[in-house]
A and B are shown apart, each in its own frame.
Chain A
Amino acid sequence: MKKLAAWLNSETFQGMALMFGVLILAGLLWGPRVLGGKAPLSIVLTLMKSGWASLMDYVVAHAIPCLVPAFFIAGAIGVFVSQASVMRYFGAHVKPWLSYSVASVSGAVLAVCSCTVLPIFTGIYKRGAGLGPAVAFLYSGPAINVLAVIYSARLLGIKIGVARAVGAVLFSVVIGLVMAFIFRDEEREKVKAAAHLSLPQEERKGWITLVFFLVLFFILITMASHRYLMAAGLLVILAAILKGFHTKDDVKEWMVSTWYFVKLITPWLLVGVFVAGAIKVLLPPEVVTRWVGGNSLMANFLASFIGALMYFATLTEVPIIKALTQLGMGQGPALALLLAGPALSLPNMLVIRKVMGTKKALIYISLVVVMATISGMVFGKYFA
């Protein structure tokens, strides 16, 4: 009983209730026009049916072969990669090119949980390498986390998955450099207080961790392409590595951390998939084609702009974009939405503003929207 009350009070539940509320309301408002004047109850039923169908398809086709190994990888990153050791590349006296490059890729390792992004960002900005690398990290963090990239490649196609990862890395460096350039005087004046970082010692040799992650990664690929025999063989190798180089506590911690991600992400993802299914009946294809179809400047800009304002819970952007592309959204705008969406949302804009100030925050947001638009156009024109 107490647990139920706590759950009803939780953000997860309230967020989901809000989402379903909006969905049903939208159904009742638009449904009669789109579905040709059906009764309210039948509209809600149609929505639910389409949502359910998309949920079932998702669970069977994607969840087990793709997401299960991806969760294990995310869990392993959280436990076996020393996050603090990455931080030494963000110190005040590190060469800028090194800070930028590490910032643009380290999101894959550091940002598996969105709640870790902001302290790292604040730390780099105020006590370390400064505005540019901090902004690069802020952008790339949520955009290239392993789960998101794997899931995009799986659901939207390998091309757009790769474009998302590569785009996000390039993008973050450009935005960081531009920001650092605009505010170069201010940066120079800033007194840099070196943070005393506590760096834990590496317990395992680096190459073992590397081999471990490579094996995990190949398990993911073999599972996703349905080569289960090979995956089983790799699992044996994995077990051997674990037995030889890891303690029981390591493995236990890994499982706990994996389960943590499953618990954190799955409910939201299921709701996202369901909503994506419902959107398919509710949104007339003509509307989608008109606004974000093709690869025009307007379509790409609109996709980036909406993406910047909208809040996507981790990974939910992927099934929603999948539904939109099926309704006629172009490949370019889809990438633009992927690049602008997860990095920005109204709530996180407010936090960014608090840390950086209004002026910097506004420039950062505009840069993201502009860059996402350009990337979408380039991708739509040359790669799609």
Chain B
Amino acid sequence: MEIKVLGTGCKRCQELLERTQKAVEELGTQARVEYVKDMDKITEYTFITPALVINEKVAVVGKVPGVEEIKALLQEEK
């Protein structure tokens, strides 16, 4: 699974990254979590950060969901 966290490096984006990593770890799935900071690449997906992209699909925009919620999103995609 390809997971991308889009963010500018601000606090909320950092938090989304950490929670996503935790969710992946707790699920024990094979997934690559990438932190995308490049503004050009971010705007290919969305204009609002933080955002979560799972397998090239924008799953979360502009908010930081809880670890459980991220887990549910990841399992949906599997």
A residues bordering B, Cβ < 8 Å?
A: 78-79, 83-84, 87, 90, 110, 113-116, 118-120, 122-124, 126-128, 195-198, 200, 253, 257, 260, 264, 355
Contacts and interface: CB of A to CB of B under 8 A. Distances in A.
B61 A116 contact: no
Which 4 interchain pairs have the tightest Cβ spacing? A115-B10, A123-B47, A123-B43, A198-B58
A71 to B, nearest CB: 16
B48 A115 contact: no
Chain A interface main SS type: helix
B58 to A, nearest CB: 4
A197 B62 CA distance: 13
B49 interface: yes
Given A84-B62, A198-B61, A119 B47 contact: yes
Contacts of A355: 39
Interface string B1-18: 000001111111100000
A250 to B, nearest CB: 12
A83 B62 contact: yes
B78 to A, nearest CB: 20
A116 B13 CA distance: 10
A119 B61 contact: no
Given A119-B39, A119-B43, A195-B43, A113 B10 contact: yes
A120 B63 contact: no
Given A115-B10, A264-B11, A198 B47 contact: no
Interface residues of B, number: 22
Chain B interface main SS type: mixed
Nearest to B14: A115
Nearest to B44: A195
Contact of A198 (B10, B11, B13, B46): B46
Interface in B32-78: 39-40, 42-49, 58, 61-63
Contact of A120 (B7, B12, B40, B48): B48
A83 B51 CA distance: 12
A257 B39 CA distance: 24
Among B40, B62, B63, find the residue whose CB has the most chain A CB atoms closer than 10 A.
Answer: B62
B37 to A, nearest CB: 10
A197 B12 contact: no
B63 A126 contact: no
Contacts of B39: 118-119, 122, 355
Nearest to A122: B39
B46 to A, nearest CB: 7
B62 to A, nearest CB: 5
Nearest to A117: B8
B46 A197 contact: yes
Given A115-B49, A118-B8, 9 more contacts: A79-B63, A83-B48, A84-B46, A119-B42, A126-B43, A127-B43, A195-B46, A260-B12, A264-B11
Contacts of A87: 47-48
Contacts of B6: 119
B13 to A, nearest CB: 7
B15 to A, nearest CB: 9
